[in-house]
Amino acid sequence: MATALLVRQLLTPLECVEEAALVMEDGTISAVGARDAVSIPASARVIDLGDAILAPGLIDIHIHGGAGHDVMEGSDESLGAIERMMARHGVTSYCPTTVTAPLDQTLRSLEKLGAAVQRAESDGHDATRARPLGVHLEGPFLSHARRGVHPPIHLQPVSDELFNQMWDAASGRIRMLTIAPELEGALALIRDVSRRGVCVSIGHSNATLQQARAGIEAGVRHATHTFNAMRRIHHRDPGLLGAVLTDRNVTADIVVDGIHVQPVMVDLFMRAKGVEGAVLITDAISAAGMPDGTYHLGSFEVEVRGDRCESHGKLAGSVLTLDRAVRNMMQFAKMSFQDSVRLATLNPARVLGLEHRKGVLRAGADADVVVFSPTGEVRQTIVGGRLTVS
């Protein structure tokens, strides 16, 4: 049976529709637009959501965990807890993100995560949970100089053979790869991985401007948690940030928690990348949604106090949620709610090559929808057209 939602405002997110209606059936959006222009089937269940704002389901392409669990645990119980927490914050799709770990542990995790993605693809996924779209492999091909908290003992030389092992373990469900392009052999792997349809992202890198541009020419088209774990920008040595911030063909994500990047720099980032080129991520760890304490990121411990996550004095992920990141963008960069929503919906969908069905409210797209209050708080999350998360 079709369901029609009536709201004060709807963000596609490229357009803002006032007094809108959205019709969904069998997990797909069948019609969307102004109420007087949308034909609602006579048999449809009609739900008037009053002053609410409808937007596409949020998409987090970089998240390590939440609700006390790490994605590398890989069990249905642990992923279920993380996915339900995300759904409560408006996230309907995500990329479970690995962290550099012992190779045998990484391969076991990839097997479990690949299987979880396959289950979600079969549409047997619980409607109370965000759905995994594919694995984001962060490491092990990272710069020792800019490794952040990734354990140096487990970083690996760039290797086609090793990547193929990880690819096979994940049953080909790797959608993103963060890599330092200055490493020996990186450019060849970037070319190969890009041909497989994987989004290659520059990150945890000490690349110079020239090395970054070589990576982009080879197939890098995104940047991971911009400013963090990167060669610092200097007016005579712009480094990889000089390439990322000025190349319109490269999108870039950012952690907007007020800790990873100072708000003035968030504003500067947006002036450089524009609303078309910026993506919001959380980089959240198992501590997200939990009280202060000691938690795990992959194989190592992280101390959490307030909003700050540290391991041996270094930032180690965040406890940020994506809906909060959207609201923070409005404050930090003086953006509209509509543009802030785009950074967590359409833009990450484009990074993954899924904009035809994710991150947008239009006929034929997946019925992944968030119901926001007029102040941007999540009232309800709809995954696959099922109104079960609130």
Q: Are residues 31 and 115 in the same domain?
A: no
DSSP H or E stretch at residue 59: strand 58-63
Would 366 be classed as within a structural domain? Answer: no
Q: Are residues 111 and 200 in the same domain?
A: yes
Residue 76 and residue 47 share a domain: no
Full domain range(s) for residue 166: 58-358
User: Is 254 in the same domain as 381?
Assistant: no
Q: What is the pLDDT of residue 88?
A: 97
Closest alpha carbon to 160 in 131, 138, 189:
189
Is 390's pLDDT higher than 60? no
47 and 62 in a common domain: no
In a domain, 122, yes or no: yes
Please state the pTM of the whole predicted model: 0.97
Q: Do 74 and 45 share a domain, yes or no? A: no
Confirm whether 73 is domain-assigned. yes
User: Which residues, at least 6 apart from 140, have a Cβ–Cβ distance to it below 8 Å?
Assistant: 100, 103, 106, 150, 154, 155, 156, 162
Each residue of 225-242: b (16+ CB within 10 Å) or e?
Answer: bbbbbbbeeeeeebbbbb
| For the chain, percent of residues with pLDDT exceeding 70 | 98
Annotation marks residue 368 as catalytic: no
d(CA 174, CA 111): 11
Helix axes 160-169, 186-195, angle to 10 degrees: 30
Domain CATH code at residue 143: 3.20.20.140
**Widest CA span of the chain, in angstroms?**
66
Q: Could you tell me if 64 and 209 lie in one domain?
A: yes
User: Any alpha helices (H) in the chain, and if so which ranges?
Assistant: 76-88, 103-121, 160-169, 186-195, 209-218, 239-246, 263-277, 322-332, 337-342, 346-351
What integer is the mean pLDDT of 60-79?
A: 97
| pLDDT band of 248, cuts 50, 70, 90 | very high
Per the omega criterion (within 30 degrees of 0), is the bond before 13 cis?
A: yes
Are 193 and 322 within one domain? yes
Nearest CA-CA partner of 7 in 41, 45, 46, 59: 46
Q: Please indicate, yes or no, if residue 365 is contained in any of the structural domains.
A: no
Task: Flag whether pLDDT at 122 surpasses 90.
Answer: no
Looking at the fold, whether 43 and 158 belong to one and the same domain comes out as: no
Banded pLDDT at 125 (limits 50, 70, 90): low
**What's the sign of the alpha-carbon dihedral 82, 95, 139, 180?**
negative
Among 70, 253, 257, 283, the one annotated catalytic: 283
Residue 250 included in any domain? yes
Domain count, the chain: 2
**What's the confidence (pLDDT) of residue 126?**
78
| DSSP codes of every residue in 3-24 | EEEEEEEEE-SSSEEEEEEEEE
Q: What is the pLDDT of residues 297-349, one digit of tens each?
A: 988 899 999 999 999 999 999 999 999 999 999 999 999 999 999 999 999 99
Q: What is the mean pLDDT of the segment spanning 116-141? A: 90
Report d(CA 231, CA 103) in Å as an integer: 27
Overall residue count recorded for the chain in this entry:
390
Q: Give residue-wise pLDDT tens across range 256-267.
A: 999 999 999 999
21 and 102 assigned to the same domain: no
Q: Judge whether 207 lies within some domain.
A: yes
Domain co-membership, 43 together with 165? no
Alpha carbon distance 22, 38 (integer Å): 8
* 99: in domain: yes
Residue pair 205/230 in contact (Cβ under 8 Å)? The answer is yes
Per-residue pLDDT tens digits for 362-378:
999 999 999 999 999 99
Residue 368 lies in a domain: no
Across all residues in the chain, what is the average pLDDT?
A: 96
14/142 same-domain check: no
Say which residue, 279 or 124, is predicted with more confidence.
Answer: 279
Q: How buried is 290 (Cβ within 10 angstroms: 0-12 exposed, 13-18 middle, 19+ buried)?
A: middle
Based on C-alpha coordinates, what's the Rg of the chain? Answer: 20
pLDDT computed for residue 388 by the predictor: 65
- Nearest C-alpha neighbor of 139 from the set 123, 150, 124: 150
Mean pLDDT for 2-22 is 98
Question: What confidence score (pLDDT) does residue 387 get?
Answer: 77
Res 389 pLDDT > 70 = no
* CA–CA separation, 390 and 387 (whole Å): 8
CATH number of the domain where residue 381 is located: 2.30.40.10
